């Protein structure tokens, strides 16, 4: 019986089928760059090449946080298997105990600041909901975001993102305005009486992980409050413990009106996202309960996966361990030819020249670490090991990085 990790017998056949029917451009790019791999067996912090199991990689990209708990975390797998004995996706028309329980847990994780929850399947869908709701609540159209940011590839999320993803599709809506991240003065000028929302990644990953300057997000919050705009924080990559707090904004002395989470909420097993809302924004749906639906959003099997994720992240000592391991990585990388931009285990390795992150991607791939450069600042390598990385895995990762760059 053929392994599910190898639906075709060889790499050539796999690549040919993928190129013909999924993406010829991706196959061509990976082959030219010399980073071609087909994921095979995977567990914890590592995965192997399906056609050469001797090629083993530490996953230090984690798909932008999807694999915060590593590959196939036992608790998440067990929760989904158990759920499949009696559940399917459920029906979005009905009240659901699984959705209710997960929503209650997510609301509690914000200290009750964001008690409303709307479920989705992708981060882009969750961002779309946050932005269209801000428009519905305020009766305004203008959306302000950060230049070089990333919020997804659909609709309003695409319009709020970087031009690289918008322009090929002719998406250029005048009510969407962008300013540099960390420029509070530019933000103050942009937010006016026509602004429905400001949306920011708490730490923009694709922009090279620049940490918010002290007081920056607090000032943005003040501008929004003073001018009646809503503040939306995109925590798809920074949330669920990645920065050492459950949500990155909890370390910034600021509370958003809406927050988007995804990727890691799935446990890397079943897609699920959520938009968390203030009570004021959530009340919009009281008289319009069917004005927004998502057929697969909050699938009941996915709720089981997400609850298992929260069970792990909220265990005593989990966040303290994230902080300690992040500090260890920074110590171990001292003296190497890059600067570590870090909050908890949300890390960017900033090299002193353009393209440094791209060079590092290839060098580390050849040595057994998978990590990806920041697309809008190619001097930076995004470095996101699983939050559950073991001490011996940290030893292995550090050894490879020091050997490559030392």
| Average confidence score pLDDT of the chain | 96
Q: Quick check: 134 and 119 in contact, CB under 8 A?
A: no
**pLDDT tens digits for range 161-216:** 988 888 899 888 899 999 999 999 999 999 999 999 999 999 999 999 999 999 99
Q: What is the pTM of this model?
A: 0.96
The domain ranges of the chain are: 37-60+316-405, 74-313
2 confidence band (pLDDT: 50, 70, 90)? low
- Token pair recorded at residue 315: 């265990």
pLDDT of residue 339: 98
Q: Quick check: 225 and 218 in contact, CB under 8 A?
A: no
Torsion of CA 94, 108, 244, 398, to 10 degrees: -40
Mean pLDDT of 296-320: 98
Q: What is the phi/psi pair of residue 45, to 5°? A: -90, 5
Mean pLDDT of 230-247: 98
Give the helix ranges, DSSP H, for 9-154.
Answer: 11-21, 24-33, 62-65, 74-84, 97-109, 123-138
In order, the DSSP letters of 230-262 are EEEEE-TTTTTTTTSSSSGGGGTT---SEEEE-
Q: What is the phi/psi pair of residue 241, to 5°? A: 95, -5
Looking at the domain that runs over 74-313, which CATH code has it been given?
A: 3.40.640.10
| Class in CATH terms, 37-60+316-405 | alpha beta
Q: Quick check: 259 and 276 in contact, CB under 8 A?
A: yes
Asked whether the predicted pLDDT for residue 293 surpasses 90, the reply is yes
């Amino acid at each position: 019986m053929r392994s599910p990790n190898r639906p075709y017998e060889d790499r050539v056949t796999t690549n040919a089928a993928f190129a013909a029917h999924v993406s010829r451009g991706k196959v061509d790019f990976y082959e030219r760059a010399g980073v071609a791999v087909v994921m095979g067996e995977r567990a914890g912090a590592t995965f192997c090449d399906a056609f050469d199991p001797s090629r083993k990689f530490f996953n230090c990209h984690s798909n932008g946080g999807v694999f915060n708990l590593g590959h196939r975390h036992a608790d998440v797998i067990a929760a989904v298997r158990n759920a499949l004995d009696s559940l399917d996706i459920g029906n979005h028309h009905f009240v659901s105990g699984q959705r209710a329980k997960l929503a209650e847990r997510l609301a509690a994780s914000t200290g009750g600041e964001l008690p409303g929850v709307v479920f989705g399947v992708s981060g882009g869908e969750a961002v779309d909901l946050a932005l269209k709701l801000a428009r519905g609540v305020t009766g305004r159209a203008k959306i302000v975001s950060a230049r070089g940011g990333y919020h997804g590839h659909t609709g309003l999320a695409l319009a709020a993102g970087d031009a690289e993803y918008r322009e090929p599709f002719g998406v250029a809506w005048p009510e969407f305005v962008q300013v540099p991240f960390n420029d509070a003065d530019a933000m103050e000028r942009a937010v006016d009486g026509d602004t429905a929302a400001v949306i920011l990644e708490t730490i923009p990953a694709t922009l090279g992980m620049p940490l918010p300057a002290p007081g920056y997000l607090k000032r943005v919050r003040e501008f929004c409050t003073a001018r009646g705009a809503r503040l939306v924080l995109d925590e798809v990559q920074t949330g669920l413990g990645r920065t050492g707090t459950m949500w990155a904004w909890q370390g910034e002395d600021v509370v958003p009106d809406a927050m988007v989470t995804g990727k890691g909420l799935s446990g890397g097993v079943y897609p699920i996202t959520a938009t968390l809302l203030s009570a004021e924004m959530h009340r919009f749906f009281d008289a319009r309960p069917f004005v927004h639906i998502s057929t697969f959003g909050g699938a009941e099997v996915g709720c089981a996966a997400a609850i298992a994720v929260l069970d792990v992240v909220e265990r005593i000592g989990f966040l303290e361990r994230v902080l300690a391991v992040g500090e260890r990585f920074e110590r171990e990388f001292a003296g190497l030819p890059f600067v570590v931009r870090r909050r908890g285990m949300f890390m960017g390795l900033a090299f002193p020249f353009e393209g440094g992150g791209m060079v590092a991607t290839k060098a580390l791939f050849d040595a057994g670490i998978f990590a990806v450069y920041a697309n809008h600042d190619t001097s930076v390598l995004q470095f996101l090991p699983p939050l559950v990385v073991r001490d011996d895995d940290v030893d292995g990762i550090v050894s490879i990085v020091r050997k490559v760059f030392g």
